[in-house]
Structure 1
């Protein structure tokens, strides 16, 4: 009885047999003192063992930076001054997040699969620590999304994934200059009729190198000597500017 039940369940499931074969233009990003951002080319193909299924193929690409806790505060004017009022903690908000799609989001991905795989920006953010007095915690999440979107660290790139002949796909995603060091998780989803039929995960390693890496390590491992060096550089720079100004006056 159980075997027949499992058999009929399998018959009821979608019979899509598609798999992502992915490529990256680079899987490492080096942050130097002159780093002003980097553009990543993500391309791939759909591997099949059967004819192309009916229905439009959707492709979604996401890149997520290292998560970090964020506290969003709301300011209110009281007694003539602006003060911090309510606050909501957002646990594990990505320092960077981009989602690129081959069509509008609501056309390529259904609500259930979006929540399950945490694809869109609102679905992958978790608000915790909201006090009982805060009845509109969702507005704090919306504020964080708006701030990071304006800063370019959160990006929604609809219709930016090019799909050729239901088999090949490609997109370009621009990483901003202000990147947090760490591993950037990259996910690719194939969808049919709003359902995820295949997914693939890889990673892009973002690291400081050269002088930038040395200064970062010094500030963390030897903060005292880092402060002394910074003070010495400031004194030398001030003295040099003063000497140059004196020469120009003479």
Structure 2
């Protein structure tokens, strides 16, 4: 009896192993690349657009979904702390009435897709996978707590609106183009005000409303020339940089007083 039970357990294990192997053999894989992995910011930098391109690699037994693939690309820049303030008119003047602090949120955030997100997947999947500006995790300090809030929160909406107006947050659901059923490309616009740092590109492949696979790549934005020298001096020699800046201000004021002095 024990021997029969042991044989049954071994058979079940072999069956599960074969199922996992078959499932892996049918899995799709993403191969992606970006046109430039290192963007240099010079004094005359006015923005740039990178190109992300890639392909969906399939094994011979893996069919293309009848409705085709969907692709969502999320570009996330360096994380910083920011504050959003709400102003109110009191006694005829505008004053800061309330504020909300956002903790370690992306300084740059963009979402690109091949069609509207609500056509790609159900709301719970979009939220779970953080697809779209309304679904990305934006941690806030709410009193003594730290948490994300609902998409309709006024501070959250105002924060996304302000970053969008600056060109640092964007969502374009027609930016991903499928050149063939398995080849795709999209542009990544970088405004002139883009912050320096490391940027992560997350690519998620979906079909029939479900996530199939995902991958990541990255690029870096750096300053070069005199701007890099100033930034490095301010970061590594803060005291000397402050003294030098103050002396330059005093010198400029003294020279202006001589030039515009009335005799």
TM-score range, shorter chain: 0.7 to 0.9
- TM score, norm. by length of structure 2: 0.79
Q: Does residue 39 of structure 1 match 2:49?
A: yes
CA distance 1:143–1:16, shift in 2 (3 Å)? farther
Give yes or no for contact 2:80–2:104 (8 Å, CA) kept in 1.
yes
User: Number of matched residues?
Assistant: 243
Q: C-alpha displacement at 1:203, in angstroms?
A: 1.1
2:170 pairs with one of 155, 166, 183: 155
Q: 1:220 aligns with which of 228, 235, 241?
A: 235
**Are 2:135 and 1:123 aligned?**
yes
Preserved CA contact (<8 Å) 2:33 2:217:
no
The alpha-carbon deviation at position 161 of structure 1 amounts to: 0.8
Measured in 2, the distance between the counterparts of 1:15 and 1:157 equals 33
User: Do the aligned partners of residues 15 and 82 (structure 1) sit closer, same or farther apart at CA in structure 2, a change above 3 Å counting?
Assistant: farther
Change (3 A) 1:240 1:78: closer
Unmatched segments (≥5 aa) in structure 1: none
Q: What's the CA shift string for 1:186-229, capped at 9, x where partnerless?
A: 01111101221111111111122221111001112223332343
Q: What residue number does 1:211 align with? A: 226
Structure 2 gap segments, 5+ residues each = 1-7
Matched, 1:113 2:125: yes
> TM-score if structure 1 supplies the norm length?
0.83
Aligned to 2:30: 20
Distance 2:82 2:247 in 1: 34
